[in-house]
A and B are shown apart, each in its own frame.
Chain A
Amino acid sequence: MPEAPSCGLPEAFAIAVRSGLRLIDPDERRPWSRLVCTVCGAALDVPSRMDERDDAIMMFRARRVTLFARRHLPGQVHR
């Protein structure tokens, strides 16, 4: 087991996309990242400012992305 593993936010997004979720990058209209389940329309909005000095915030965001992706894996009952 790796020492103190911590899945970063970019990796969490990448895994979510590979599992079938759609990632909408920030733009002027919507300055945050949005993950969308293409099956049920569920969406997770994540602040995208990358100048956070607090690594913990990024770790927490990565966790939220991962848990959202887990809820919307193929074969899951979407809720």
Chain B
Amino acid sequence: MTARQFLLRIEQPPREDQICGLFAVAHDCCVEVGAFRRWAAVFVDREAPSMAVAVATAIGDLDAAGLVPIDVGPDEELVTVPLIAMRLECHPRRVSRWASGEGRACGFPDPEAHQGTEPWFRWSEVALWAARRFGITLADPAPVVAAANLALRLRAVAPAVEDVGAIVSLIGHDALGGSPA
């Protein structure tokens, strides 16, 4: 199964009992409260059959912990060799060869930073390289992120909408990937 990475911004910095509740059900999350408590988010690294399932189950975990997610965001850009290997579904040694001076002739992007001896790369550059070199079409998380954000927004305003079911019915069976009856 593939690991799906993203962040969920939450309405306000969490209380400790809420963090405890979240970690009780989700070991694949980290919680960050930003500088001067101006924002808060849960970073998720979840193995799931699809990005949509990963996002939906993570939102469910936040709900269970009493946290209020307000939007979904893409993962952070910087990635390590092992993470690149996971995403490209190949052995880390292969990525190391591409990333080494020896393999640099293949055009692998330069590291953005180093942590000790470990190089860190920009995922957007690596994905572009992989697409050009191997024709790999990596799943674009943007539509899932957009759909999840619309769902969260609808959930937030639904209590103020009379006959909200009429609005929800606009998302027809066909739009959800079903076949006509």
Contacts and interface: CB of A to CB of B under 8 A. Distances in A.
A44 B42 CA distance: 10
B88 interface: no
Contacts of A42: 32-36
Interface string A4-20: 11110001100100000
- Name the interface size band of chain B: 35 or more
Contacts of A3: 92-93, 96
A70 B83 CA distance: 18
- Name the interface size band of chain A: 35 or more
A7 B80 contact: yes
Given A47-B29, A60-B45, A63-B80, A40 B118 contact: no
A3 B96 CA distance: 6
Most A CB contacts (10 A, CB to CB) among B23, B32, B101 go to B32
B177 to A, nearest CB: 30
- By secondary structure, the B interface counts as mixed
Contacts of B43: 64
Nearest to A69: B115
B115 A78 contact: no
Contact of A37 (B29, B35, B45, B92): B35
A59 interface: yes
Nearest to B117: A2
B141 to A, nearest CB: 16
Contacts of B109: none
Contacts of A70: 78, 113
A4 B81 contact: yes
Interface of B: 3, 5, 16, 19-20, 23, 27-38, 43, 45, 47, 76, 78-83, 85-86, 91-93, 95-96, 99-101, 113, 115-120
- Give the 3 A-B residue pairs with the shortest CB-CB distance, closest first: A4-B92, A60-B45, A40-B35
Given A1-B119, A15-B115, A44-B31, 16 more contacts: A3-B93, A4-B85, A5-B117, A5-B118, A7-B80, A7-B116, A42-B36, A45-B23, A46-B30, A56-B86, A59-B83, A63-B80, A66-B120, A68-B32, A79-B34, A79-B35
